[in-house]
Amino acid sequence: MRQAFVEIRWLGWSGEAEQAADLADAFHNLPQCMWRDDFSLQFFRDAFLAVYRQKYPTGRDYIAMLAEIISMEV
C-alpha cells in the first residue's frame, strides 16, 4: 500500500488524475477489508489489481509485488 500511495502522489503531481484515481480505487478498501474473515488476496488481486494492470500495463506491477509478499509468508 505504501508504494500505491507514493505512486498516487506522483501521478497527481504529474497531472495524471485519472490514473491516480484508478489506483486509489484499486486500493482504497484494502485496509478495511483485509481484516474481514472472508477476505481473499486472490479476489483482491483479480478484482482490483488485475483490472488496474490491464488498464495501465506499463506502470508498477502490483500483482507481482503481491506475489512476492505471498511467497514470503511463513
- Span 34-48, pLDDT tens digits: 999 999 999 999 999
| Domain boundaries, position 17 | 2-72
Tally the domains of the chain: 1
Q: Summarize the confidence of residues 61-73 as an average pLDDT.
A: 88
Of the candidates 63, 5, 54, the residue with the CA atom closest to the CA atom of residue 31: 5
Pick 73 or 17 by higher pLDDT. Answer: 17
Q: Summarize the confidence of residues 51-55 as an average pLDDT.
A: 96
Position 72 scores a pLDDT of 77
Q: Summarize the confidence of residues 48-73 as an average pLDDT.
A: 91
Distance CA 26, CA 29 (A): 8
Position 74 scores a pLDDT of 53
Check if the beta carbon of residue 60 is closer than 8 Å to that of residue 2: no
Task: Give the Cβ contact number of residue 61 at 10 Å.
Answer: 14
Pick 72 or 37 by higher pLDDT. Answer: 37
